Amino acid sequence: MFDFANQAYTLLIITVIFGDLFTRIIVGDQESGYRLGNFLWSLGLAVSYLLVVMTGPIFGAIMDFSATRKRFLLASYLLTVVATSLLYFVAPGYIFLGLLLLVVSNYAYAIGESFIASFLPDLGRPEDLGKISGFGWALGYVGGLVATAFAILLLGEVSAENFSRIRWVGPFAGLFFLVAALPTFLWLKERGRPRRLKEPGHYLLLGLRRTKRTFTGLHAFPDLFLLLFSTFFAMCGIYIIISFTFIYGAQVIGWDEPVRILMFVVVQITACLGALAFGFLQDRVGAKPIYALTLILWMAAIILIYLAPAMAIWAQRHFGPAWQAQYIFLVVGVLAGTCLGSTQSAGRALVGLFAPRNKAAELFGFWGLFSKAAAIVGLLGIGLLQIAFGLQVSILFCALLFGLALVLALYVDEQRGRRAARPGV
């Protein structure tokens, strides 16, 4: 249910509505091709992920020691709800306020992802984690579909003329997250033996010491170490796609509003089905082959995204004017959507298989660290590249990132990684 709830933030704020609103309306530098707005958007997200990188493993170590994962999750959840709701006050020209609230809300949301992921090893047997993770991710896309469908119907299109309505996207996303995540805090159980320190300040020192010890001890988990670096490059690409797909559609493809809505629906449905299908396949053929397959499909999708305008011109010459770039982009969205949830689900399941239970929160903190460090590199990279080359050419950067992730994944030994996570091994 937490996956169901937090997708409202991802889709409404990062992907579908507020990102487009911020770059085109709040900043509004149309003369430069929105390059300033695109860069500020990537910069704000990168700063928020940098804060996750700095604090995630430390909080994870504290949670493992004190068995307080649920409390940390509650704090991140409430901060996300409040900061997201305050986005209502971001009007055209209020660039600094928009960036500040983006950093705070996305930091709280992103670090909450690591907190909730640390519960995964407690939810079932190791051989069931693939489908459990896949089911959670699929349910997340259902939540995103429900939240965004209602938001689009109630709030309308992203435009300056419709700003008085579309500005309610922040409060709507905050309210949806607030209500839909309540079952998590009512029924999810905290496991582990709580331990306490006399002075509150000692928890920070404890977190720093345990984080340093775990980082230096990652050599005992070579496959987890390789997986984390593979995840780094994969998430570089995925964060670019999540943050810029609808911006790309508006600025490069020039799609119509009905196609934008249809793209959202198609991606959510295919992502949901992909996460479910690949989740069940993970438990039968292994998480690594599924993870590698999705990376290959991602590279194909990125190349097709880049070629969509040229493919449309060629098709119009041979088959008529109905073959527009926006429809080709929509078809490619099916392939990208299928990979979106399954890549992240397979990676999360592999971390759950490779992490000893007594270090689950801490190692998932490192998973969050690598993922969010990837977001920094990916988003700053695309932000700078699009200033120099434009957004269309810069999207090819993602294909390179997925290729590097695939090369590293080929060296991961799933069975060896699972053995290293067992007690006494």
Listed as own residue / partner, the contacts of 31-37 with beta carbons closer than 8 Å and 24 or more positions apart are 33/251, 33/390, 33/391, 34/247, 34/251, 35/386, 35/387
pLDDT of residue 106: 94
pTM of the model: 0.73
User: Higher model confidence: residue 119 or residue 302?
Assistant: 302
Predicted confidence (pLDDT) per residue in 329-344, tens digit:
888 888 888 887 778 7
Q: Which amino acid, residue 208?
A: L
* Per-residue confidence band for 115, with pLDDT thresholds at 50, 70 and 90: confident
Is residue 178 within 8 A of residue 44, CB to CB? The reply is no
The percentage of the chain sitting over the pLDDT mark of 90, rounded to a whole number, equals: 23
What are phi and psi for residue 166, nearest 5 degrees? -70, -20
Residue 291, pLDDT > 80, answer yes
- Could you report the per-residue pLDDT of 149-182, keeping only the tens digit for each? 888 888 988 888 999 999 999 999 999 999 999 9
pLDDT of residue 396: 92
Average pLDDT rounded to a whole number, residues 357-378: 75
Burial class (CB in 10 A: 0-12, 13-18, 19+), 369: buried
Mean pLDDT value of segment 293-304: 91
pLDDT, one tens digit per residue, over 202-243 is 666 766 676 677 677 667 778 888 888 898 999 899 889 888
pLDDT of res. 318: 82
Average pLDDT over residues 266-282: 78
What's residue 77's pLDDT?
A: 93
**Average pLDDT rounded to a whole number, residues 55-61:** 75
Average pLDDT, the chain: 83
pLDDT at position 365 is 66
Does residue 19 have a pLDDT over 90? no
Question: Cα 115 to the chain's mean position, in Å?
Answer: 14
Q: 145, 153, 112, 163: which is closest to 2 by C-alpha? A: 112
Rounded to 10°, the helix 169-180/69-85 angle is 160
Q: Rounded to whole angstroms, how far apart are CA atoms 51 and 66?
A: 22
- Per-residue burial over 335-352, b if 16 or more Cβ lie within 10 Å, else e, is bbbbbbbbbbbbbbbbbb
Q: Is the dihedral of CA 239, 175, 133, 50 positive or negative?
A: positive
In the prediction, which pLDDT does 355 show?
A: 75
Cα separation, 382 vs 45, whole angstroms: 12
Residue 249 DSSP label: I
Amino acid 98: pLDDT: 93
With a pLDDT cut of 70, the percent of the chain lying above it is 89
Determine the pLDDT at residue 425: 45
d(CA 304, CA 6): 29
Give SS3 for 323: coil
Is 70 exceeded by the pLDDT of residue 275?
Answer: yes
Domains annotated on the chain, with CATH: 2-191+202-420 (1.20.1250.20)
Report DSSP letters for 354-385, one per residue: HS-GGGHHHHHHHHHHHHHHHHHHHHHHHHHH
